[in-house]
Amino acid sequence: MGQGVLVVPVTQVLFVREGERVPVYDLTVPARLREDHAEMSFWQFARHQDVFVMSAEFVIALHLHAA
């Protein structure tokens, strides 16, 4: 299993793995922005420059940050 928490400092967005649920929070308010789902197996959160990736068995979700 991969890392279960990812904070994007520039945008103050928090991603949390909770089993198959992946709620996404705005830390500046604080408020829930949305909830993604990772059915089956969650793999990892990863950062590639300004793109943040959540990968799982059947899902890949992207969070883009434009500077």
Q: What is the tens place of the pLDDT at every residue in 7-30?
A: 888 888 888 887 778 888 999 998
C-alpha distances in Å from residue 26, one per residue of 1, 56, 61: 25, 22, 17
**pTM, rounded to two decimals:** 0.68
Strands 31-37 and 42-48: unpaired
Q: Tokens standing for 43?
A: 């793999």
What is the predicted pLDDT for the residue at 67? 47
Q: Where are the domains of the chain?
A: 5-64
